[in-house]
């Protein structure tokens, strides 16, 4: 795709990612003030990029991640925070991806949520992070990948931060039809180099567009490196921010181009070749899975866990509440 434009067409989806300045918030009132700041970003970005169809904000951009007050800042979905975001999307006729950390959960700890709101202000997707970052994140894990039809018919899949470190999560999202995998993250140093490279790798190995929104700046605990980016389905970078808080960058994604590649590419068509192994030598290729661990995992999850623990370690029993009790000096 050509880069450098601020427009989009019927065939392209204009996407912006925000290097949002990490918020340090103490009260629900401060959270709502921050939500209005995010809404202002939606309006300003649409003014600057008239082709904008989808804007993406990072994980933790709504409530931050206060080391001791995180539970006090939790909310519901829908709720007052998403109401503000919905109005911004409706007013500016754009779709938006927003973070809720966390959503009150009646069966346990709160969820870490990826919220997709359409240009009419409707919540189209509420994805719960499947792999919370151990050992610091207290969020209750989700149990399914999610994909939904987005602006102009582009299929959008959700990932949250550490999720994308698991190739299985991205692959499952793509196999459900995602043409754009959106990753919202709150990633800090020293993981900068790995995470920038990972976006290109996940795009390339899954023949998918990949858009990342990351926080920038410092809160009470970490320094976040930004580098929000948008990656083409061949793994090349279309647009990338630096490390400065509140940077925004933009690219347009061609719907016909990715569908053509998935239909017509042979070499490097990783999605087709996955279940058509050796089709140059075997008629129609081999469809059965050769991966013994995944067979075990599907048939006997406890056995798969035992195999994993035999080469790593047993799971510690320390509850997350205990971990946070030991960090009272961060108040």
**Catalytic machinery residues:** 59, 129, 161
What whole-number distance in Å separates Cα of residue 262 and Cα of residue 271?
8
Residue 217, SS3 per DSSP = strand
What whole-number distance in Å separates Cα of residue 298 and Cα of residue 304?
9
CB 212 within 8 A of CB 218: no
In 3D space, the residue among 289, 309, 288, 307 whose CA is nearest the CA of residue 297 turns out to be: 307
Looking only at the bridges linking them, the beta strands covering 111-117 and 95-103 are antiparallel
Burial of 74 (0-12, 13-18, 19+ CB in 10 A): buried
Other beta carbons within 10 angstroms of residue 83's beta carbon come to 13
The Cα angle at residue 198 between residues 193 and 204, in degrees rounded to 5: 140
């Amino acid at each position: 795709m050509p880069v450098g434009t601020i427009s989009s067409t019927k065939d392209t989806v204009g996407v912006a990612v925000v290097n949002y300045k990490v918020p340090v918030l103490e009260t629900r009132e401060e959270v709502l003030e921050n939500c209005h700041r995010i809404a202002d970003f939606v309006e300003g970005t649409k003014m600057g990029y008239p082709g904008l169809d989808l804007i993406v904000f990072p994980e933790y951009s709504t409530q931050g991640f206060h080391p001791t007050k995180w539970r006090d800042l939790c909310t519901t979905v829908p709720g007052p925070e998403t109401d503000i975001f919905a109005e911004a999307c409706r007013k500016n006729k754009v779709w938006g991806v927003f973070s809720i950390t966390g959503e009150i959960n009646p069966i346990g700890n709160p969820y870490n949520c990826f919220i997709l709101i359409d240009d009419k202000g409707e919540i189209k997707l509420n994805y719960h992070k499947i792999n919370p970052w151990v050992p610091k994140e207290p969020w209750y894990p989700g149990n399914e990948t999610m994909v939904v039809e987005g602006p102009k018919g582009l299929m959008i899949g959700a990932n949250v931060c550490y999720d994308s470190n698991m190739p299985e999560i991205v692959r499952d999202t793509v196999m459900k039809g995602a043409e754009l995998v959106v990753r919202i993250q709150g990633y800090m140093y020293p993981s900068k180099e790995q995470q920038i490279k990972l976006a290109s790798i996940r795009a390339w190995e899954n023949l998918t567009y990949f858009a990342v929104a990351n926080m920038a700046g410092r809160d009470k605990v970490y320094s976040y490196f930004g580098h929000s980016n948008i990656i083409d389905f061949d793994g090349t970078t279309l647009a990338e921010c630096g490390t400065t808080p509140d940077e925004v960058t933009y690219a347009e994604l061609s719907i016909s181009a990715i569908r053509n590649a998935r239909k017509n590419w042979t070499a490097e068509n990783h999605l087709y070749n996955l279940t058509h192994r050796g089709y140059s030598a075997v008629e129609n290729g081999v469809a059965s899975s050769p991966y013994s661990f995944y067979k075990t995992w599907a048939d006997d999850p406890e056995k798969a866990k035992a195999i994993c623990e035999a080469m790593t370690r047993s799971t510690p029993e320390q509850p997350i509440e205990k971990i946070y009790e030991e960090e009272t000096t961060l108040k």
